[in-house]
Amino acid sequence: MAGLLKGHRHVAVKIFTNDGQNTDEIVIYKHISQGNKSRLGYRYVRSALDSFELINRGNIKSDNILHLIEDSSILAAFEEAEIAQPSPRRKAVDREIYVSRTLDMPASIGEPILCDFGNAVYGTKINNDDVYPDVYRCPEVMLRLPWSYSADIWNVGAMIWDIFEELISLLGPPPLELIKRGERSAEWFDWNGKWLEPDEDEPDRLPLLPPSSLEDAEENLNGMDKELFLNFIKSMLQWEPEKRKTARELLKDPWLTRSY
């Protein structure tokens, strides 16, 4: 901390409670810090400068994408405002509670930074736990199949679609072979791969949305922009994990590399 004060550097302090998930996140941050810093994606992942632990008698999520603050003047203005007019505070029995102070809007938005690794896992291991927010979960996670890196590709594709503008109605039904392999497939499909609609015995089942397509659903783009964007999304939203493009392949996709 003394070094940071001497260099007048703005940093963020993240405080964890002392449970298993948060301990895992610190381990992941340490693993990231040992990575190859020359690799293209390293600059887009938040790393930890350091960590420490406070021992006490008491006990101490998805997935965030933040934007790098390149305009440091808003941080300096924040400091000056806090010095000139400190935030109101209230004393509780064992702590002080401060009113949050809003940062000014930066002149420009910085690069996206991936953060919050409490649910991160190593891609070299076989995983079959539930991960990701429900609305972004890939088929293999929902069906309780082993998953790996390609699950992230689906997650990003679904998130991009959600930000830009449901999935059987848009993509058609999943392949029967995928359904037969899933441990939880019987919750949503019969043995022939047909969606289980609500009935008298199971009135709480979700009905299928009317059939549609990505082409019909996307209403903000036209011409080549729309074609390239939809091809990009389709390359990630593939039912079968092995058919999804890798992150390296996506970096070369025409929608990202096209010059305007």
Residue position matching structure tokens 């953060």: 115
Rg over alpha carbons for the chain, rounded to the nearest Å, is: 23
CA max distance for the chain:
70
Copy the structure tokens of residue 120: 């991160």
Q: Classify residue 237 as exposed, middle or buried by CB count within 10 Å of its CB (0-12, 13-18, 19+).
A: buried
Phi, psi angles (nearest 5°) of residue 233 = -65, -45
Partnered with residue 64 across adjacent β-strands are 115
In order of 209, 210, 240, the CA distances from 176 in angstroms are 19, 20, 11
Phi, psi angles (nearest 5°) of residue 112 = -70, 140
Copy the structure tokens of residue 230: 């939809």
> Which residues touch 212 (CB under 8 Å, ≥6 apart)?
169, 170
Question: 3-class SS at 98?
Answer: strand
Q: What letter does residue 61 receive in the DSSP assignment? A: -
Question: 3-class SS at 137?
Answer: coil
Catalytic residues: 71
Cβ-based neighbour number of residue 136 at 10 Å: 19
Copy the structure tokens of residue 224: 């080549």
